[in-house]
A and B are shown apart, each in its own frame.
Chain A
Amino acid sequence: MKTILIAAGISLMLALFGTPLAIRLFTRRGWGQPIREEGPAHQTKRGTPTMGGTVIVVASLAGYLAGHWLSSDPMSASGLLILMLMAGLGLVGFLDDFIKIYRRTSLGLRSGAKLAGQAVIGALFAIEVLRRPDGYGLTPADDHFSFLRDFGPSIGLLVFVIWIVIMIAGTSNAVNLTDGLDGLATGATVQVLAAYALIGIWQERNDCTNFLAPQCYAVRDPLDIAVVAAAVAGACFGFLWWNAPPARIIMGDTGSLALGGVLAGLAVCTKTQLLLPVLGGLFVIIAMSVIIQVGFFKMTGHRVFRMAPLQHHFELLGWAETTIVVRFWLVCGLCIALGLGIFYVQWLP
């Protein structure tokens, strides 16, 4: 428990005081966000420094490491793998952002190259989580689908890797699509991360290695997973201070891919893969809006929304930007209440 609080506190401080430094540095170097030309009237956002996600990634890693160092609590395979997934996807996003800035267009890596990067890192993660058993023979994940726990028969290594790659690519792209209004993605992610800190702590309290009850959880290192969730939540919190509307810095693909990665990693290692679509329902809705828009347009030539992703639809309907952000946060909070409710009710005897 001490490690959780220390890790969250350190990454909060680092992000809170590191972000203004990043703003100054990035502004001086001219690393501003180019705005996609077909977006709503966001032209005033051109020039706001981007790639703020680097601060989130660095602060999360530093908070995790320092928390362990100060409490001399050993690190765990699960925690380190999730953080490596986060950093790896953050790197893919960073390349994308950097190319955008370098070429001065709003299109970065070609979408094929970006997807390939996500797939390689996702596959590495998927293979690694099946290895590294602890003293009880538990690995960070098993080749199973999971909702509130693992369920069904084992699906085999290959299918599992493909499934995890899809999940990671899906989650990181969903967070990426949700980014685009000041504070929206950061604030929504903080909420889901806080939910995962609670889930990790709860799984630790009801861990099968602690006491054998019929509803106990067979999860490797639940407490350390809570440390990761808390460290990232702390980093997002500090970043949101500066990212609050009107944003002084934008997280960029660096941030959105990294955050999507950490959410997917947390879901895999806490064995709640399919609970994540409920907890992160907002991201799912926004990603669905794009799929529906594109699919329907290709089929019929008509649009369903004025613009996709969904947040821009409401902007064009005349909602103020802050109204959309706060209302979408509320939807996110509702999804989390529902998800945590399901998680808790299933546990009740």
Chain B
Amino acid sequence: MKTILLAAGISLVLSLFGTPLAIRLFARRGYGQLIREEGPESHLTKRGTPTMGGTVIVVASVAGYLGGHLLTDDPMSASGLLVLMLMAGLGLVGFLDDFIKIYKQRSLGLRSGAKLAGQAVVGALFAVLVLHYPDNYDLTPADAHISFLRDVGPAIGVVPFVFWIVLMIAGWSNAVNLTDGLDGLATGSATLVLAAYVLIANWQLRNDCTNAPIVAHCYAVASPLDLAVVAAAAVGACFGFLWWNAPPARIFMGDTGSLALGGVLAGLAVCTKTQLLLVILGGLFVIITLSVIIQVGFFKMTGRRVFRMAPLQHHFELLGWAETTVVVRFWLVCGLCIALGLGIFYVEWLQVPG
């Protein structure tokens, strides 16, 4: 518990005080955001706001995690380290994308094929590694199963598992990427989902099969406490970043941030064995991604548009909602999805005969 608080505190302080330094540095170097030309017109004023703020989030999360462990002599775990490496790896892919955008001075970075390939390589490495590294109880960070509130169904084999995880990781990091685009929207929503994971991992620790093996509804998760530490460190980092990313934003997270945050969410879901629950907890990201899929699919089929603009947040902007109204209302939707997801998680625990 002490480690959780320390890690969250350290990453909070680092990002709170590190972000202004990044703003100054990036602004001096001219690492400003290029705004896609077909976006809402009101966004043209955002040109020039420094981007790649995600680097601060990634560095602060990793440093908070390491600092928390260093100060408590609590050993690190395979699960925690793998989730953080997934975060850092995807952050690197996003960084390359951001950097190419700035270097070439256009709002399109890595070609989408190259970006997807990067996500797939990092995701596949993660998927293979989580099946290794058993702990003293012979639990690996994840098993070759689909999971909802726990692992469900039969083992699906290594190859389908790797495919599934790659799909999930690419899906989540792109979903967070699409959600980014209004000041504070992606950061605030990701913070809420990460906070939910702090609660989930704590609950799994309290009801861990290695602690209380008698109880029928215990959880067989490797190192739940350390997963809570990772989630808390990422929450702290996002919190400090949101201070500066609040509307009107002084800095954007860029693809560095959105890919990294999508990665850490997917990684937490895999290791806490709640892969499909994340679809509910992160319902906002799912809705926004679906809006793009529907828009593109419908347009290709019929030549007409369903929304004035996709992703969904821009549709509401063009309907005349103020940017802050869209952001706050989307946060509320995100909060509702989380209440629903945590409710399902808790009710299932209540109902298993214990």
Q: Is B8 an interface residue (CB 8 A)?
A: yes
Q: Is B325 an interface residue (CB 8 A)?
A: yes
Q: Check A330/B350 contact, CB under 8 A, given A246-B324, A322-B247, A323-B248.
A: no
Whether B332 and A241, one on each chain, are in contact in the complex, defined by CB atoms closer than 8 angstroms, is: yes
Give residues 305-345 of B contacting A (CB, 8 Å).
322, 324-325, 328-329, 332, 335-336, 339, 343
B329 is contacted by which of A8, A241, A327 (Cβ under 8 Å)?
A241
What's the least CB distance linking B192 to chain A, in Å?
10
- The 8 A CB mask of B184-202 against A (1 = contact, 0 = none) is 1000100000000000000
Whether A237 and B335, one on each chain, are in contact in the complex, defined by CB atoms closer than 8 angstroms, is: yes
A326: chain B residues at CB < 8 Å are 184, 188, 242, 246-247
Q: Check A244/B242 contact, CB under 8 A, given A322-B248, A341-B5, A345-B1.
A: no
Q: Is A1 an interface residue (CB 8 A)?
A: yes
Q: Is A299 an interface residue (CB 8 A)?
A: no
Q: Check A330/B1 contact, CB under 8 A, given A1-B346, A237-B336, A246-B324.
A: no
A187: chain B residues at CB < 8 Å are 328
What's the least CB distance linking A331 to chain B, in Å?
9
B243 is contacted by which of A1, A244, A327 (Cβ under 8 Å)?
A327
Q: Is A344 an interface residue (CB 8 A)?
A: yes
Whether B343 and A323, one on each chain, are in contact in the complex, defined by CB atoms closer than 8 angstroms, is: no
B8: chain A residues at CB < 8 Å are 337
- A320, A326, A330, A348 — most chain B CB neighbours (10 Å): A326
What's the least CB distance linking B104 to chain A, in Å?
32
A12 CA / B333 CA spacing, docked (Å): 12
Whether B322 and A330, one on each chain, are in contact in the complex, defined by CB atoms closer than 8 angstroms, is: no
A244, closest chain B residue (CB):
B328
A188 CA / B243 CA spacing, docked (Å): 16
A348 CA / B225 CA spacing, docked (Å): 14
A1 is contacted by which of B324, B328, B329, B350 (Cβ under 8 Å)?
B350
Whether B239 and A244, one on each chain, are in contact in the complex, defined by CB atoms closer than 8 angstroms, is: no
Whether A245 and B346, one on each chain, are in contact in the complex, defined by CB atoms closer than 8 angstroms, is: no
What's the least CB distance linking A274 to chain B, in Å?
20
A294: chain B residues at CB < 8 Å are none
Q: Which residues of B contact A (CB under 8 A)?
A: 1, 5, 8, 12, 184, 188, 239, 242-243, 246-248, 322, 324-325, 328-329, 332, 335-336, 339, 343, 346-347, 350
29 contacts between A and B (CB under 8 A): A1-B346, A1-B347, A5-B343, A12-B336, A183-B328, A187-B328, A237-B332, A240-B328, A244-B325, A244-B328, A244-B329, A245-B328, A246-B322, A320-B248, A322-B247, A322-B248, A323-B246, A323-B247, A323-B248, A326-B246, A327-B243, A330-B239, A330-B243, A330-B246, A334-B12, A334-B239, A344-B1, A345-B1, A348-B1
